[in-house]
Structure 1
């Protein structure tokens, strides 16, 4: 019997993140186009169950009226898709600002979380969204400023996250902090763990694990002192280090992204350098996706995870527009569910 859970979602933000209108930037792909590509994907007579959304223009206005949000939800549901996790627009230049910033910046960060929770509530009320989190990060690009006083700056981010957690709890939502090497205070597995423990709201503020990003945690790209692997590691050394890292972060993990990484660090548009996402069958991919997913999905049902999401952030438009990309992605997602899912 095939497993029913976790449901399989596709991320919509690869159509926006790293795209733009400046010279050398690729144009964004609209939400409708990303939805078209998602609904067209088929593998073994199965399709994607839903999508995770980026709550910012040009995909979605986080301050949109309730009627506009309900119309969007209806349109997605009519395509046979659910809505899952939502990315809050917490960064400078969107609604928010740095969680490590001054009082005004931190207020902007919290306003972005509040708007995201409002959108989540509207989607929940329509019935199109029954699982997922609101994703956040420190919205502090790079780690140089954080390094000026690591303990104090982690404490400041934690204070902001704790207040954001109260906003989320009041709205019936959970927040997941994305583990990614470009976000200050979250740029290594150890710093991420220290931050979550400082926040100390395990039922409300947790971790979002992404296979591509957490791979670079192992190598200590932005925190060599916390590296668990040398670049010339063996397979045995890799899985020993992987088990060690995941054992620390898995109890906090509320949201999980399936992805591939080729070991490179990439940036595009206004997005700072981070782990490079690759197609699942990339010949330079470093990860056995199905095996690595097993470490994160152990106990996932008990942690409230009902869906997993493919993340192809900063894929070139040529790759996004290729139907074979989505067939390959969906095949990999199905393999993960069959190996580690449940009914």
Structure 2
């Protein structure tokens, strides 16, 4: 393994929450404490995870929590030797936020969720457990049907909301990253995402969060066939030509990066449906050479302010999340990504 100290290697806490719940057929959430234990237990050749990325919502965190409660959470995380990196703002309707594409009241709720996330970030920063990372958002408009009624107008409305959110973040010394995922209106294809980033036009404060599982489906044109860069049955040469084309467009905006695997399926669980299926790092059906594909995104990553990368395994079954072998395989591939594409301080 390379001795590169950067980027730091993080594990996401939200796989213990996303797609979990008390509805029919849903598995129960996994507590923050248990997710931390599982992450801390992973070890490959004496190397371990450096930190976590964190979803600011119940049951892991009350976004309305007071400073004392947040400092206790910071102490808990630091007790495992972890840093906190990127934070996920609770921007969705039914949490504390609402759609960025909605009316004035809905958009104000969206912005209030960003303010909450910035406040929590400030507590973690002052504590010392958080030294890098961004705040992640999306449009909180699930599905593309309503967006398609007026693509230009709706993209402009989302961009206006995002600009105001970016100004709020800048006032707190934070940067925002919009999650590229096919389920979010206006962020559902590589072309729509690029149009939105350019419409916001605040690259110092507002950028892109690339997830390898989700961006694979960008290539195939799910939810946006007109933007497809590949057809089923593609060759390896066709894949990498298309992958490079897509990444070259989005990489300059990329300020947060998730290592992940995808088997080409659209998947969902609970209230989080019709999105990219995250697969185990060693899934035999995975479509991606994880280390090679990560390299396309990590070119010049240091210059874009990226100091860590995060594994995302959303909507894994609880039995998979509870298996130590899952985390050792994930850490192993993360170390290989850093060995191939990392850098010194």
Map of 2:96 onto structure 1: 95
1:24 aligns with 2:17: no
Aligned partner of 1:301 in structure 2 is: 302
Q: Does 1:165 align with 2:166?
A: yes
- 1:305-324 deviation line (CA, Å, top 9, x unaligned): 00000000000001000000
Q: Which residue of the partner structure matches residue 181 of structure 2?
A: 180
Equivalent-residue separation in structure 1 for 2:45 and 2:255 (angstroms): 28
Secondary structure in structure 2 of the residue aligned to 1:236: helix
1:22-61 to structure 2, matched below 5 A, reads 22-61=23-62
Separation in 1 of the partners of 2:240 and 2:204? 28
1:86-235 matched pairs, under 5 angstroms: 86-235=87-236
- Cα deviation, 1:219-244, whole Å, max 9, x if unaligned, reads 00010000000011100000000000
Residue 151 of structure 1 and its aligned partner are, at CA, apart by 0.1
How many angstroms does 1:63 deviate by?
A: 1.1
Describe the SS at the equivalent of 1:77. helix
Aligned partner of residue 181 in structure 1, secondary structure = coil
Query: Separation in 2 of the partners of 1:133 and 1:303?
Result: 12
Counterpart CA distance in 2 for 1:196 and 1:23 is 38
For 1:23 and 1:298, locate their aligned partners in 2 and report how far apart those are by CA, in whole Å: 44
Instruction: Quote the offset at 1:62 in angstroms.
Output: 1.0
1:55–1:116 contact (8 Å) kept in structure 2: yes
Distance 1:131 1:269 in 2: 31
Contact conserved, 1:136 with 1:178, CA < 8 A, in 2? Answer: yes
TM-score, normalized by length of structure 1?
0.99
Cα distance in 2 for partners of 1:22, 1:206 equals 34
- Residue in 2 that maps onto 1:314: 315
Correspondence for 2:260: 259
Instruction: Indicate conservation of the 8 Å contact 1:2/1:338, yes or no.
Output: yes
Would you say how many aligned residue pairs link Structure 1 and Structure 2? Answer: 343
Cα drift, residue 127 of structure 1: 1.1
Which residue does 1:280 correspond to in 2? 281
RMSD, aligned CA: 0.5
Report the Cα distance in structure 2 between the residues aligned to 1:72 and 1:58, rounded to whole angstroms. Answer: 12
* Cα-to-partner distance string for 1:149-199 (whole Å, 9 max, x where unaligned): 000000000000000000000000000000000000000000000000000
CA distance in 1, matches of 2:332, 2:236: 25
CA distance in 2, matches of 1:10, 1:92: 26
List aligned pairs for 1:323-342, cutoff 5 A: 323-342=324-343
- Give, in angstroms, the shift of residue 272 of structure 1: 2.2
State how far apart, in whole Å, the 1-side matches of 2:37 and 2:213 are: 25
Partner Cα separation in structure 2 for residue 281 and residue 328 of structure 1: 7
How far does the alpha carbon of each residue in 1:263-293 deviate from its partner, in whole angstroms, 9 at most, with x for none? Answer: 0000100002100000011000000000000
Structure 1 residues without counterparts, runs of 5 or longer: none
Q: Tell me the distance in 1 between the aligned counterparts of 2:204 and 2:70.
A: 27
CA distance in 2, matches of 1:295, 1:95: 36
Which position in structure 2 is the counterpart of 1:6? 7
2:178 partner SS? strand
SS in 2 for 1:86: strand
Report Cα offsets for 1:111-144 as digits up to 9, x if no partner: 0000000001110111110110000000000000
Whether 2:16 is the aligned partner of 1:15: answer yes
The 8 Å contact of residues 143 and 184 in structure 1, kept in 2 or not, is answered as: yes
Return the alpha-carbon distance in structure 2 between the equivalents of residues 202 and 342 of structure 1. 23
Whole-Å separation in 1 of the counterparts to 2:326 and 2:287: 18
Is the 8 Å Cα contact of residues 142 and 272 (structure 1) preserved in structure 2?
no
